[in-house]
Chains A and B, each alone.
Chain A
């Protein structure tokens, strides 16, 4: 028995649809680490996979859900949070996790993100941020670093980016966190805390796209891209992200915000029950 098996009885294979292997992610893609961290957290929390719903949108992140041996929903581009809102309101007994990407969540789905944060339904949203539109061939995303070359920014990205965690916090998410794929155990712990949190949790996972982003910008192979996360991230986790709005690097990691706010679904049901009691009385 090896050392890893001794410290944890988690085996990712127990949570995957192995008949779908090999998966179709590119070599070096960070999304696998994110998915493994999610499943590790699910394992530690002892969540019944029959009661786990993973809702995804479109893009590389959108295709990760299918590999999870749970109830998995691959929805329309940018809309997984809206689908999840209906699912969770109808079925509060389910643990609902949304896996989305930087384009899915912040561009086409930006409106749904801010309102999901505001509504504060008990959903965990993992935004896998690889700074690029991978599946469509490497076009610029709302989180692409300024000056980077992409399929649609041949002279370098001229648009400023924004900090998704600050956006989520400002919009009312009651739990906000960020972690890098380089720190898988920390990522697992963060996702675990997010799922345990009662309310809307937003977790930004800094992933990497080696094949069509890193290569084009000479960021190196996967190990180099992942190692570079170390210098770019500040692991204080206290919510004091350095104020550099148009540079996504040097961002804080860990739990960045945690607020006690009423969970929407329960609030709605409590008021409905009061109404019914009043009507009957």
Chain B
């Protein structure tokens, strides 16, 4: 079998990728601009002996996803800003109990009901810090329909591999964009299955520390009768409030992401080797930035682009290296300034960091980014 070309909408590509990654359970609640994912999953899942269920709200949706994942299914939900807000408590539960699950968040204008049919990038910080407490999370931010397909599969693989909720974050433009996508042959798609306990291990501990800090998971029915709780728990899964055990438990779930960055990090860099101005952008804003870099290079301006594909954990090292010799860093984003805080943290005063922000429901055009860079360079 060879790969095939298809004309696909972003949301449809997402659903097809989920099926290809082995997703067999979807629970969701319709919300613009993510609804096509649920609709597509309702058609695809019965064909592969999977289950689609439309729940009564987003809280129930992620709860059902976690329940299905605890039962052994690869499971996901899809939503948009307000629905993502409702999911935050259960997102924390999944992080705490180390239950793999994938959450698609198609960003729209906010806050509140905002602009449901307009794009935005206002959930960058909600995706990282939305739930309460310190918690591990992985967020990927595709910038094309092709990448929605690839990153959705990678999201499932990372989620299964590290037993952590993974958020796929993109905006309304990419969700509704129709682009030509190359679908790889099914047998070439790399899928990851979580490490399962056989059910016969002596003295099995469901949250035992392993070399890579990711515990082996027990499936109901296989033999190990485990307890799963959102309370801070020890290796045996039962609650504790002892300070040393509590800090050990929390630090392990944070470290399992930090220490395994080599498997998680992904960043696209364009023309950064000699860049005097580095643009940092994600999603649709990064596509505009890519075009701006082309234009600027044509004018002899040494501009480059750093595009975090894995948005969280944030690509500190790559950005630090890319900006080592830069005088200016520009962060165009479709919000009032979220990503820029991380960029400022990493750049740390070594270069001037400026924002280019838009919150009117319209994308940032390449020309606006190029013009802003020209101004920054002229001002050096």
A contact residues around B75 at 8 Å (CB) = 86, 90
Closest to A80 in B: B63
B contact residues around A20 at 8 Å (CB) = 238
B contact residues around A25 at 8 Å (CB) = none
B46 within 8 A of A: yes
A51 within 8 A of B: yes
A272 to B48, CA, bound (A): 9
A contact residues around B93 at 8 Å (CB) = 75-76
B203 within 8 A of A: no
- Which of B61, B64, B228 meets A73, CB within 8 Å? B228
A53 to B221, CA, bound (A): 9
Asked whether A89 lies within 8 Å of B53 as measured between CB atoms, the reply is: yes
B56 within 8 A of A: yes
Asked whether B49 lies within 8 Å of A93 as measured between CB atoms, the reply is: no
A79 to B89, CA, bound (A): 11
A contact residues around B313 at 8 Å (CB) = none
A contact residues around B228 at 8 Å (CB) = 72-74
- Which of A72, A79, A112 meets B227, CB within 8 Å? A72
Asked whether A82 lies within 8 Å of B71 as measured between CB atoms, the reply is: no
Interface size class of B (residues with CB under 8 A): 35 or more
Closest to B236 in A: A19
- Which of A49, A50, A72, A87 meets B71, CB within 8 Å? A87
Interface size class of A (residues with CB under 8 A): 35 or more
Identify which of A63-71, A146-154, A208-216, A235-243 touches chain B: A63-71
- Chain B residues 187-201 with CB under 8 Å of chain A are 199
Asked whether B59 lies within 8 Å of A86 as measured between CB atoms, the reply is: no
1/0 contact string of A180-193 vs chain B (CB within 8 Å)? 00000000000000
B72 within 8 A of A: yes
A contact residues around B329 at 8 Å (CB) = none
A94 within 8 A of B: yes
A90 to B66, CA, bound (A): 11
What distance in Å separates the Cβ of B224 from its nearest Cβ neighbour in chain A? 8
B345 within 8 A of A: no
A203 within 8 A of B: no
A interface residue numbers (CB < 8 A to B):
17, 20, 49-51, 53, 55, 65-66, 69-76, 79, 82-91, 93-94, 111-112, 115, 268, 271-272, 275-276, 279
Q: Which 3 A-B pairs have the closest CB atoms?
A: A86-B67, A86-B64, A82-B63
B interface residue numbers (CB < 8 A to A):
24-25, 27, 45-47, 49, 51, 53, 55-57, 59-61, 63-73, 75, 89-90, 93, 199, 220-223, 225-231, 238-239
A/B interface sample: 12 pairs, CB < 8 A? A66-B229, A66-B239, A71-B220, A72-B226, A73-B227, A75-B230, A79-B60, A82-B64, A85-B67, A90-B68, A90-B73, A111-B57
